[in-house]
Structure 1
Amino acid sequence: MTTKNFTNKTAIVTGAGQGIGFEIARQMALEGAWVLLNDINEALVKTAAEKIANEGGNCYALAGDAADVDFIQHMVDSAVRHFGGLDIAIANAGITLFGDFLNYPVESLQSVMRLNLQGSFFLAQKAANQMIRQESGGRILFMSSVTGHQAHQDLAAYGMTKAALEMLAKSLVIELSPYQITVNTVAPGATLTERTMEDAGYKNTWSRITPMGRPATVEDVASAVLFLVSPQAGHITGQNIIVDGGWTAVSTSPY
């Protein structure tokens, strides 16, 4: 049973063509929100929007590069044009490029920082300015990772960006709280998605080393996100929720 917590609320969710982003957008739409779905893959995001619409959700697909500052402004403008305003911005789009630190190429570092940090920073900036103009508060959420808390082999660059997002959320508390805009992060651990399931041993490995006995589902992560951007979390800001079945408590290596 849905709660309709998001009736008459408008949200942007980046990286929503599949996986965690799709499930966030889906759950929010089914709880009454108008959702602008973004993904760089046009076919993927259109299919995602169709799936949500077929379940009764109200959404609009907009393909494009979530790291491009001009496109980010276009997303905000599109949400306002289609739905009348913007209440929630979820910077879910990100890229993971594995690599040994001693040989990590400049191009990979730039790609990871461009999407994970630049895209998130400027979505928050553009969304916050729109929310301030509306004078009705709002919610901003960054997608972090357990790799921002615990070292993980070959993910120095990625983990650095995720830790930075959590610091960004804390920093924005100072600037955005006077406008009743909250900023929080969710840090998923191992999660079953279309991408991770391409690894035949992924589920078994993470089931073995996760205290709760299984990796997260996209529903697990989306539920934490929806709470933080809901009316019930109006006095929570600058915080992070780790969704990892207890893995960071023990930090057993998958290797």
Structure 2
Amino acid sequence: MSNGQFHQKVAIITGAGQGIGLEIARQLARQGASVLLNDLEESLASEAAQLIHEEKGVCVPLAGDASDVGFIQSMVDKAVQQFGKLDIAIANAGITLFGDFLEYESDDFNKVMKVNLGGSFFLAQAASRQMIQQGTGGRLLLMSSVTGHQAHKNLAAYGMSKAALEMLARTLVVELSQYRITVNAIAPGATITERTAHDPDYDKTWSRITPIGKPASTKDIANAALFLVSPQSGHITGQSLVIDGGWTSVSPSPY
């Protein structure tokens, strides 16, 4: 693709083999970006990149652990090697490990923090270093959640990690603004993805308790993500945008 507001922009997106990450990658590619698409599973990364190629987009898959600092640097290096620069980094990779607080295992806690926090922190760091070297500014986007705003049963560790990402976005304002790098977060609510589609009651339950009357689609989330990494958002930084159909305003439990 040769036109669109992301023409000649280069983006890295982690955890993008399916769901929200894939939709963000597709929309960026449709609007002209060259995308390095990461997923832990090689088959998902390859299939996602093939889909984008079929839609006439530019995408390179790179499978690997987005919480590993060495691999994170290799993603940045690969993007620069393949496309010559890096303009956008979206830390979408994350894991959810449910568990009762009183019984939660340290191994599960550490896994959640390593992926959700460590992966996001060190992708932002590696991408920022490259953007500073280029001297052209850039966009960072972190993936929070409504669970970082409202309590969910059995998600103490996950919600804690997502709230921390919003603080990271605010903190990096004082670190990165001088380099014209913006950093924001989005906080999706209930969203129909491949994972949630396995729950036969998910759509019905969240349609009932969401003020707007339905859960989000992946495109709803991608639309917000693209705005925050676009040229139109140059004066927005340190912010978190909740995309939940109004759920956090009333917060009824799905249980």
Flag whether TM exceeds 0.5 (same fold): yes
Deviation at 1:121, TM superposition (A): 0.2
Runs of 4+ in 1 over 4 A off after TM superposition: none
Partner of 1:69: 69
Q: Within 5 Å, give how 1:150-229 maps onto structure 2.
A: 150-229=150-229
Q: Give 5+ residue unaligned stretches, structure 2.
A: none
Deviations 1:38-76 (A, max 9, x none): 000000110000000100100000000000000000000
Q: Give the alignment's TM-score, normalised by structure 2.
A: 0.99
Q: Within 5 Å, give how 1:5-84 maps onto structure 2.
A: 5-84=5-84
Query: CA 1:29/1:244 → structure 2, altered by over 3 Å: closer, same or farther?
Result: same
Aligned to 1:77, the other structure's residue is in SS state helix
Aligned to 2:120, the other structure's residue is in SS state helix
Deviations 1:82-134 (A, max 9, x none): 00000000000000000000000011001000000000000000000000000
Give the AA of the match of 1:245.
Answer: G
Deviation at 1:181, TM superposition (A): 0.1
Equivalents in 2 of 1:131, 1:40: separation in Å?
A: 25
Q: Give the alignment's TM-score, normalised by structure 1.
A: 0.99
RMSD between aligned residues: 0.9
Deviations 1:204-249 (A, max 9, x none): 0000000000000000000000000000000000001100000000
Aligned to 2:166, the other structure's residue is in SS state helix
Partner of 1:112: 112
Q: Does 1:126 align with 2:101?
A: no
Give the AA of the match of 2:134.
Answer: Q
Partner of 2:92: 92
Query: CA 1:189/1:26 → structure 2, altered by over 3 Å: closer, same or farther?
Result: same
Aligned to 1:60, the other structure's residue is in SS state strand
Aligned to 1:79, the other structure's residue is in SS state helix
Q: Does 1:250 align with 2:243?
A: no
Give the AA of the match of 1:87.
Answer: D
Deviation at 1:3, TM superposition (A): 7.1
Q: Give 5+ residue unaligned stretches, structure 1.
A: none
Give the AA of the match of 2:153.
Answer: Q
Deviation at 1:199, TM superposition (A): 0.7
Aligned to 2:95, the other structure's residue is in SS state coil
Deviation at 1:145, TM superposition (A): 0.0
Give the AA of the match of 1:192.
Answer: I
Equivalents in 2 of 1:16, 1:119: separation in Å?
A: 14
Query: CA 1:73/1:100 → structure 2, altered by over 3 Å: closer, same or farther?
Result: same
